[in-house]
Amino acid sequence: MNTDERQHEGSVILLGPQSWHYADVTRTINELDIDGPIALVTAGWQENESDDSGLQKALDRPTINLSLHARSEGVADAEADFVAAWTLRQKHLRRLQEFYRIRLQSIDKAAGSIAVRHASSELLEEQLEISVSQLRHLDADHLQRCATIRERFDNDWPISSLPSLESQREEVAEELQACKALIITGGHVVAVLNRLRLFDVFATWDDRPIIGWSAGAMVLTERIVLFHDSPPFGTNLAQVLDTGFGLCPDLVALPDMSRRVHLDQKGPIGRFSRRMAPAHCLALDPGSRIRFEDGKMTAVEESARLDEDGQVNWGWTP
């Protein structure tokens, strides 16, 4: 098991992108009957982390912003050697992602070329399975390599050797003890993931509710998958980025899927769904809500599943 993965005996609710009035997250908090205070992780907003007044107003409850981005800046100022090593680690991870992506492109291109050849359906199905198997192997290998790098780094830099970080973790844990629920917002998914890990936010979080939207939802799953069929830059090939915390197993979260995926392209959708199986590939569009209780998916609202036959199943329920 990935060392980040944790069991959560309580409610975890994943949401799609939020509008300025935060209607979905407010409705969720109201239905959970949370009387506050609520812990906020807005690290995905990075330098705008503290601009949470709109969210606070919508929730209409006491909130405590954990300020993970700002805390990480403070640790950086105090632990220069640690930050230098962290920077090198991140550079190494980005290079691994680049090499992994190059290999993925070769397999995906071959799969697309084979799929349009005139051949029997049995032969094409066989070839599709070969392509999916190769993609799955690359995905698993990449995640393992990333985990190995992170584990090695953690061994080289134990928390006991970093008094500033140790102190900040203790403060975060103390603030969390007073909170009734945890909200993790969207934004830059790597920033969210790294700050949650850095300050070990889930170490002392028991069965209290967790709500995450967009990037904040992605990090709660087992695998973070980057996807966009028409990206503003870069490749349109879906790729795993890293492991998540595993609080929502057997799910690939696809924020804003209806806008990012060409839903009429059955071939690529089917190949992607098979590649991610047995996990369900579910949309987190505006208005979507996926609920887990005690680690099991119990309800899906306003979402769709990408099926292995390339269909978009808008009526799917767990």
Average pLDDT over residues 195-216: 96
> Does residue 3 lie in a domain region?
no
Q: How many domains does the chain have?
A: 1
Average pLDDT over residues 60-81: 96
pLDDT band at 5 (very low <50, low <70, confident <90, very high): low
Determine the straight-line distance between the first and last CA of the chain, rounded to whole angstroms: 24
- Give pTM, 2 decimals: 0.94
Give the span between the Cα atoms of 244 and 2, in whole angstroms: 9
Give the span between the Cα atoms of 234 and 236, in whole angstroms: 7
Average pLDDT over residues 162-190: 97
Give the span between the Cα atoms of 187 and 43, in whole angstroms: 8
> Does residue 2 lie in a domain region?
no
Mean pLDDT of the chain: 94
The residue assigned the tokens 């599943």 is: 305
> Does residue 123 lie in a domain region?
yes
Domain containing 33 — which CATH number? 3.40.50.880
**Residue 70 belongs to domain spanning:** 11-313
Per-residue tokens: 194: 């790294």
> Does residue 178 lie in a domain region?
yes
> 144, 96 in Cβ contact below 8 A?
no
pLDDT for 4:
66
> Does residue 80 lie in a domain region?
yes
Average pLDDT over residues 10-20: 96
> Does residue 6 lie in a domain region?
no
pLDDT band at 85 (very low <50, low <70, confident <90, very high): very high
Give the span between the Cα atoms of 271 and 308, in whole angstroms: 7
> Does residue 42 lie in a domain region?
yes
Give the span between the Cα atoms of 275 and 253, in whole angstroms: 14
pLDDT band at 166 (very low <50, low <70, confident <90, very high): very high
> 132, 275 in Cβ contact below 8 A?
yes
pLDDT for 1:
35
For 277, residues 6+ apart whose C-beta sits below 8 A from its C-beta are 308
pLDDT for 52:
96
Average pLDDT over residues 87-95: 97
> Does residue 164 lie in a domain region?
yes
97-125 pLDDT, tens digit per residue, is 999 999 999 998 998 899 889 999 999 99
Q: Given a cut of 80, is residue 208 above it in pLDDT? A: yes
The amino acid that residue 304 corresponds to is A
Q: Given a cut of 80, is residue 126 above it in pLDDT? A: yes
